[in-house]
């Protein structure tokens, strides 16, 4: 492809900024990144409070975040944030140790069985489900894998594995089928509490591509990366180092594709490009673009999570001594309840804690935002860490995905076949997974494949 083509990238989150970086590395410098907000980073959002940054979105990474590491190297930064730790409470606010046999004598048989099943899960993922952890979803519904290995070198790999078709079924059903149902007790912590839905509704492919075995074990061992100035700092740094930083407050009202060109109307002015990369939510693309019949058909099938975050102050005597997971509240029947709350800074009590809750399940009515907010605040009282004030709140458009029937019928292969059609390429969360590394990695692969 001509290195001088004019490329418009919609979205200044991890996917869009990474697309700019990888294009630049390949010699494409005539790109423009349009971001509707007044800051970059998307759901990597780290506001300031009392001179320090806290997290309203993404919190952490792991050593297998190779795309994020690419950004660190490109910018000359590193993961220099506070060390995280956690404990657990039941729904009544009592501190528990669910994985400690000595504290759960009656649960020893279950814990031993769970340990064996985790070992078995690791084995079948490497054998029966070879290729499961490739970034993106190309070929999975057809029993194939095609992409780049989850290694620092990210060498290209491809092959056929009929068992991969199983990954379309909900993770709960997949675990039961493979006799590893107790592994859900471990995988639920960094999955459901992080806003990615419930195991009885989300296809196993999403769970296992995000929480591949090595990634989940890093969460278990608390082998985590954080950034002193927040996850937003990663993308701010990248934006500062790009030859063409994102244009902020860019309100796109129209996209028209005709005669081999892409016309984008932004802030009332129409600009001409040769190619378009959409990293913002594809579900909303038809609202401002000349979406074709196939785009409307497939993008209308996208679902998303309603994931709410509160940043709250507490009185010093009520400040939690550590972050807490509440496993009791990570089931669909406890929809809208507090699942986890984080204390980011351990050396002071003049910082906020952040709370996280889901309020939508495939088989349930959506809980209204204000109702969920009040439930979370009541839960904090039950946890004995009541909030004295809410200083920030956010309801995210979170984790776009498709459900099992659409996944199994080849949604991803059909959309991948549309790449480049209409001079448009599709990236962002839906094309891989809704965490910052998976989205950045998909942008890298998109550039490798098509530019």
DSSP state of 410: T
The pLDDT tens digits of the residues spanning 62-92 come to 999 999 999 999 999 999 999 999 999 999 9
Residue 152 has pLDDT above 90, yes or no: no
Do the domains spanning 7-45+68-73+227-302+403-450 and 97-220 agree at the CATH topology level? no
Residue 103 has pLDDT above 90, yes or no: no
Indicate the domain borders of the chain. 7-45+68-73+227-302+403-450, 97-220
Closest to 89 (Cα-Cα) out of 380, 357, 375: 380
The pLDDT tens digits of the residues spanning 224-261 come to 999 999 999 999 999 999 999 999 999 999 999 999 99
Phi, psi of 170 (to 5 degrees): -55, 145
| CA–CA distance, 426 with 41 (Å, rounded to integer) | 18
Q: Options 3.30.450.60, 3.50.50.60, 3.40.50.620, 3.40.640.10; which CATH number does 7-45+68-73+227-302+403-450 get?
A: 3.50.50.60
β-sheet with 261-266: strand ranges across: 252-258, 261-266, 269-273
CATH number, span 97-220 = 1.10.405.20
Residue 104 has pLDDT above 90, yes or no: no
The pLDDT tens digits of the residues spanning 297-332 come to 999 999 999 999 999 999 999 999 999 999 999 999
**Parallel, antiparallel, or unpaired: how do β-strands 252-258 and 144-148 relate?**
unpaired
| CA–CA distance, 287 with 10 (Å, rounded to integer) | 14
Q: What average pLDDT is seen over the chain?
A: 96
Q: Are 282 and 294 in contact (CB under 8 A)?
A: no
Q: Please, which pLDDT band fits residue 141 given cuts at 50, 70 and 90?
A: very high
């Amino acid at each position: 492809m001509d290195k001088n083509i004019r490329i418009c990238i919609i979205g200044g989150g991890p996917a869009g900024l990474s697309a700019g970086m990888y294009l630049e590395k390949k010699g494409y410098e005539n790109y423009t990144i349009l971001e509707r907000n007044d800051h970059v980073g998307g759901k990597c959002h780290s506001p300031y409070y009392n001179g320090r940054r806290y997290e309203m979105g993404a919190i952490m990474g792991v050593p297998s975040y190779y795309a994020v590491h690419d950004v660190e190297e490109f910018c000359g930064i590193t993961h220099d944030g506070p060390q995280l730790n956690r404990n657990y409470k039941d729904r009544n606010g009592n501190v528990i140790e669910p994985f400690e046999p000595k504290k759960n004598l009656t649960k020893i048989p279950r814990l031993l069985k769970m340990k064996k099943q985790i070992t078995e899960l690791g084995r079948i993922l490497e054998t029966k489900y070879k290729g499961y952890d490739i970034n993106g979803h190309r070929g999975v519904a057809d029993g194939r894998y095609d992409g780049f290995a989850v290694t620092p070198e990210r060498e290209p790999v491809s092959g056929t594995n009929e068992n991969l078709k199983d990954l379309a079924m909900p993770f709960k059903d997949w675990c039961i089928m493979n006799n590893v149902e107790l592994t859900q007790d471990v995988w639920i912590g960094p999955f459901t509490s992080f806003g990615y839905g419930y195991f009885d509704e989300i296809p196993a492919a999403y769970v296992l591509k995000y929480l591949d075995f090595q990634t989940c074990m890093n969460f278990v061992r608390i082998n985590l990366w954080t950034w002193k100035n927040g996850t937003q700092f990663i993308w701010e740094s990248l934006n500062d180092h790009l030859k063409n930083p994102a244009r902020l407050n860019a309100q796109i009202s129209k996209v028209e594709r005709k005669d081999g060109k892409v016309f984008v109307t932004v802030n009332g002015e129409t600009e001409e490009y040769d190619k378009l990369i959409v990293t913002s939510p594809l579900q909303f693309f038809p609202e401002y673009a000349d979406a074709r019949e196939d785009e409307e058909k497939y993008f209308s099938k996208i679902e998303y999570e309603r994931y709410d975050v509160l940043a709250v102050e507490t009185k010093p005597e009520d400040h939690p001594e550590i972050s807490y997971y509440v496993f009791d509240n990570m089931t669909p029947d406890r929809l809208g309840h507090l699942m986890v709350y984080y204390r980011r800074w351990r050396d002071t009590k003049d910082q906020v804690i952040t709370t996280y809750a889901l309020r939508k399940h495939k088989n349930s009515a959506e809980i209204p935002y204000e109702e969920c907010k009040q439930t979370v605040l009541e839960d904090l009282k039950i946890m004995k860490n009541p909030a004295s004030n809410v200083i920030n709140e956010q309801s995210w458009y979170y984790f776009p995905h498709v459900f099992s029937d659409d996944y199994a019928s080849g949604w991803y292969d059909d959309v991948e076949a549309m790449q480049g059609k209409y001079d448009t390429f599709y990236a962002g969360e839906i094309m891989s997974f809704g965490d910052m590394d998976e989205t950045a990695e998909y942008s890298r692969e998109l550039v490798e494949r098509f530019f």
